[in-house]
């Protein structure tokens, strides 16, 4: 996956989940069956530590499945 595509995906995720902004995601190619003519898919994992107003903190993980063209197929997050 090229850096321009990753930057495009990062901007979309940072607007939806500002708490993970500032870091670079871990990018991995996904293995699996493809239909003919379908683009490769990649898993981007964003992680951060979120501080709550009451003083507690928790780890936030946002996982994004996207194709090689930058189209986001699925987004999941931890609580």
Answer yes or no: are the C-beta atoms of 43 and 9 closer than 8 Å: no
Determine how β-strand 57-67 pairs with β-strand 41-51.
antiparallel
How many domains does the chain contain in total? Answer: 1
Residue 9 confidence (pLDDT) above 90: yes
pTM: 0.84
Give CA torsion, residues 40, 32, 20, 47, to 10 deg: -140
Q: What is the pLDDT of residue 42?
A: 94
């Amino acid at each position: 996956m090229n850096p321009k595509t990753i930057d495009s995906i990062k901007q979309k995720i940072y607007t939806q989940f500002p708490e993970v902004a500032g870091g670079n995601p871990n990018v991995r190619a996904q293995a699996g069956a493809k239909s003919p003519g379908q683009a490769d898919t990649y898993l981007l994992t964003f992680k951060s530590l979120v501080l709550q107003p009451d003083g507690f903190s928790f780890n936030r993980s946002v996982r994004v499945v996207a194709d090689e063209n930058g189209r986001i197929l699925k987004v999941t997050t931890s609580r």
